[in-house]
Structure formats: structure tokens, C-alpha cells
Amino acid sequence: DVKVTQSSRYLVKRTGEKVFLECVQDMDHENMFWYRQDPGLGLRLIYFSYDVKMKEKGDIPEGYSVSREKKERFSLILESASTNQTSMYLCASSTKTGEMGGSNQPQHFGDGTRLSIL
């Protein structure tokens, strides 16, 4: 079974802090993703990575950055946390293999980090 592990289930931080969310997958997947999920807005893609040291902006990258130094680990960074970044953050991974060989294969998710910015 694919295991995607997010380092914290719940996190409380203060406005202006630099916040790191960590994600590790154990299936040697090439692709990794960060989403945020808010009521009524669904899943929104922040950033994704299709290889080590590679990153692509998703739909809402503003205020976030990412780091992928190792294949199994993908970090989301809130450079200066703001209250509108209070949300559930979900990490996902997928293999690159498949009929199209890209970053659009079925994704496997972690259980999320519920982040509150005060």
C-alpha cells in the first residue's frame, strides 16, 4: 500500500511566522503535490513536483514555496503566514509510469495537516 505521511496532523502558528509542512512518501513516486482544501472551494493545487529539485506552480502558488531535495520528501513553505492561509493542507504522490507517462496519474493522499494561523 502507498503511504503518504504528513509530519503534523494539527499545527497552530502566528501571523508572520515562516511555516514548514513536511510530506514523505514510501512508494518511490516521481510526482508529488500540495493542495489546500477549504469548505465550498474543494481541493486547490498549490505546487507540484515531477522530479527532484523540479517544481511547477499550481492554481494558487502565491504566498507559498516548495522544496524537493530528495525524491521521497516534498516540503511546503509559508514564507510569512497570514490568517487567510488557515486551511487543511493535503500532500499527494503519484507514479510517472502509465499510458501517458506524466504527472497526471491517480494520486495517493496523506491525511492532511490542519493549519491554523492566529
Partner 1 sequence: QKEVEQDPGPLSVPEGAIVSLNCTYSNSAFQYFMWYRQYSRKGPELLMYTYSSGNKEDGRFTAQVDKSSKYISLFIRDSQPSDSATYLCAQRGYSTLTFGKGTMLLVSP
The pairing of strands 42-49 and 31-38 is antiparallel
Mark residues 21-40: x for contact with partner 1 by CB under 8 A, - for none. ------------x------x
Distance between CA atoms of residues 25 and 109, nearest Å: 9
Nearer to partner 1, 18 or 57 (CB): 57
CB of 104 to partner 1, least distance (A): 5
b/e burial code for range 8-34 (CB count within 10 A of at least 16 → b): eeebebeeeeebebebbbeeebbbbbb
Question: Does residue 85 belong to the site contacting partner 1 (CB under 8 A)?
Answer: no
CB of 54 to partner 1, least distance (A): 12
Length of the chain: 118
CA angle 58, 63, 67 (to 5 degrees): 65
Site residues for partner 1, window 97-116 (CB under 8 A)? 100, 102-112, 114
Nearer to partner 1, 23 or 81 (CB): 23
- Interface ranges with partner 1 (CB under 8 A): 4, 33, 40-43, 45, 48, 56, 58, 90, 92, 100, 102-112, 114
